[in-house]
Structure 1
Amino acid sequence: MSTTPAVICLDLGGSFVKLGVMDAQQQLTILDQQKIPADSWPDFTALVSRMIQQHQLHFSTDSPLAISTAGIVAPDSGEMFASNIPAFHQRNLSQALGELLQRKVIVHNDADCFTLAEAQAGVGKGHKVVFGAIIGSGVGGGLVADGRIITGQNGLTGEWGHGPITLTEVDIEGETIRLPRQPCPCGQKGCLDSYGGARGLENLHRTLHDVNASSLDIIAGWQQQEVQANRTIQVWLQLVSQPLAYTINITGASLVAVGGGLASVTALMEALNEEVQRYVLRSTQHPLVVPGAFAHNGGMIGAALLARQVA
């Protein structure tokens, strides 16, 4: 492990740039957050340079910069695919920022970074294989084995939210409910992402009841045993639990750490774990599906840990 006393951490999303620093004891301190200039490379690099300059007392000139970002990093070329952040879409972000800032820059996908954080220091610590399931506005994932991120072809691993796998009918209390396959922004039709995340939950509620409601209102209604919301969550649990159980069977993960907004709803995660245990080949006494310990800054923590691994 590197003896670098501090790692500069950046979290890049479609709305904000968050800056932090991880010290030698692996403690993360958030230093700044700014709205991201998502459409302009010059404005983006100027902001990052300025943020680092303003907080330079917290790290040294040879501290690496570890970046957790939305999007995919091509493992061979380093090219970014981040259509929601045009500022660095189709650029080698690591190389370009490294040359600009004159320091080592490590860039990786935020779901992968979250999973590494949970596997090394969070709820997955001590587990050989950890799957990270992001259930936020959409559905994503990452995979860590033996403390290392598994990076597949074209930088894609753990994308359980995509592919034409969603059930087209579910059975609820003896009633068969048929569901249409929804088009997905990825270009396919029938992806879990269409029904699985917070926006997907809203879409599912609208499909079932022809009613517009926010994911927060649907979950609150479910917890209050409101009839329509309860039906929506029952269907959601079937739709999400079966692909997740399938993912566990394939990867051999002994724990699924869940991140994203829906992970904060403890009762929903407990219900999801119960459903998943029904479908895996071998259920366990301990929970398989649990909320992650680093719901807010897991990407930054994982990116810093990755920087220490590769230094």
Structure 2
Amino acid sequence: MIVCFDIGGTAIKGAAAWSVDDVRPVPRRQTPIHDFDAFVAVLKSVIAEIGSVPDCVVFSIAGIIDADTDRTIMANIPSVHGRLLKADLEAALGLPVLIANDADCCALAEYGAGAGRGHRVVFGAILGTGVGGGLVIDGKLINSGGGFAGEWGHAPVAATRAGKPLVELPRFSCGCGLDGCLDPVCSARGMERLHSHLAGKTMTAEDILDDWQAGEAEAARTIDIYIDMLSGPLALVINVTGATIVPVGGGLSNCAPLIDALDVAVRGRILRKFSRPLVVKAQCTIEPGLVGAAVLGLDFVDRSKAS
């Protein structure tokens, strides 16, 4: 048995996992964002509630482990930001600890229990508050040692001319410090920014998508340009990785017509031709962070026992 945690800025979700299909959540706790000792105390309380000593503890975090320094980049939780989190937690809990980015865990969840079952190469994409992703090949998370693999939302690759007919677009500034990333124009807030630039209207992404599905012309123009901007970089990711399925999570994935339109556009831009959907809605929508953490932890335990 392993214990899984999904760590967010508001809540800590915990679960015990005996298999990928047997993940049992416990009630969530509030995240102590400023006090590391209180943070550890919450983790210990979850482990105590589960009542058994786990083989390891696995964390899905809304952040990154810097592969060069092993330090955590998680600015929304100051109590863990900048720490050697794996070493600190192993010392505090007295158990082996694994840590992975939440988008990576979502990709693992899709590989183990979702749309990625049966596929060797799975690229899990996130379209929501941000644009992110994770890559799993032969059941192994490419980012298992930490780092930035799968972060396709952060590179200066956003088109400056897109749509039919073509329209000129600015290079929007990104929170990562670069200009021209996908994140500030293809996330949910990015869609809103794009629509404001094109139509001069302030609307939520949900309302833009509703208007698009209702045939409203300005929303249709925004979504046409959005799909054009997003599909090219995603096609490049697929060509480079050889992914044969791209499950999409995040809030925007709840709009099925948007994912269908993205799939059609992407399949028209890749080298390998698929007669079936390639870009699909993620299937593991209930606590994918915990399920992905379970996949990672159970594989670690199996390999440890084998050696």
Deviation at residue 171 of structure 1 after TM alignment: 3.1
**Deviations for 1:135-172, whole angstroms, at most 9, x for unmatched residues?**
11110011111110112886110111111100001132
Q: 1:15 pairs with 3, 10, 13, which one?
A: 10
Partner of 1:3: none
Q: 2:66 pairs with 74, 77, 83, which one?
A: 74
Q: 2:25 pairs with 14, 25, 30, which one?
A: 30
2:134 partner SS = strand
Partner of 2:188: 198
Percent of pairs identical after alignment?
Answer: 39
* Contact 1:73/1:80 (<8 A) preserved: yes
1:279 partner SS = coil
One-letter amino acid of the counterpart of residue 296, structure 2: L
Q: Whole-Å Cα distance in 2 between the matches of residues 244 and 283 of structure 1?
A: 15
Deviation at residue 76 of structure 1 after TM alignment: 5.6
Partner of 2:221: 231
Partner of 1:44: 39
Q: 2:83 pairs with 81, 91, 94, which one?
A: 91
Q: 1:56 pairs with 50, 56, 71, which one?
A: 50
**Deviations for 1:97-121, whole angstroms, at most 9, x for unmatched residues?**
2221222221111111111121122
* Contact 2:16/2:50 (<8 A) preserved: no
* Contact 1:17/1:36 (<8 A) preserved: yes
Root-mean-square deviation over aligned CA pairs = 1.7
Deviation at residue 62 of structure 1 after TM alignment: 3.4
**Deviations for 1:192-211, whole angstroms, at most 9, x for unmatched residues?**
00111111111111111121
Deviation at residue 25 of structure 1 after TM alignment: 6.1
Partner of 1:131: 123
Unmatched segments (≥5 aa) in structure 2: 302-307
Deviation at residue 296 of structure 1 after TM alignment: 3.5
Alpha carbons of structure 1 residues 26 and 63: separation in structure 2 relative to 1, 3 Å: farther
* Contact 2:20/2:294 (<8 A) preserved: no
Q: 1:281 pairs with 271, 274, 277, which one?
A: 271
Q: Whole-Å Cα distance in 1 between the matches of residues 129 and 167 of structure 2?
A: 24
Deviation at residue 181 of structure 1 after TM alignment: 0.4
Deviation at residue 225 of structure 1 after TM alignment: 1.2
Deviation at residue 232 of structure 1 after TM alignment: 1.1
* Contact 1:139/1:192 (<8 A) preserved: yes
Q: 2:204 pairs with 195, 214, 219, which one?
A: 214
Count of equivalent residues: 301
Alpha carbons of structure 1 residues 78 and 120: separation in structure 2 relative to 1, 3 Å: same
Matched, 1:300 2:290: yes
One-letter amino acid of the counterpart of residue 94, structure 2: Q
Q: 2:135 pairs with 132, 143, 150, which one?
A: 143
Partner of 1:169: 161
* Contact 1:75/1:151 (<8 A) preserved: no
**Structure 2 length normalisation: TM-score?**
0.93
Q: Which moved more, 1:23-32 or 1:277-286?
A: 23-32
* Contact 1:7/1:63 (<8 A) preserved: yes
Matched, 1:246 2:241: no
2:59 partner SS = strand
Q: Whole-Å Cα distance in 2 between the matches of residues 90 and 296 of structure 1?
A: 30
Q: Whole-Å Cα distance in 2 between the matches of residues 17 and 30 of structure 1?
A: 11
Q: 2:104 pairs with 112, 116, 121, which one?
A: 112
Q: 1:258 pairs with 239, 248, 254, which one?
A: 248
Alpha carbons of structure 1 residues 25 and 73: separation in structure 2 relative to 1, 3 Å: closer
Q: Whole-Å Cα distance in 2 between the matches of residues 25 and 212 of structure 1?
A: 42
**Structure 1 length normalisation: TM-score?**
0.92
Unmatched segments (≥5 aa) in structure 1: 1-5
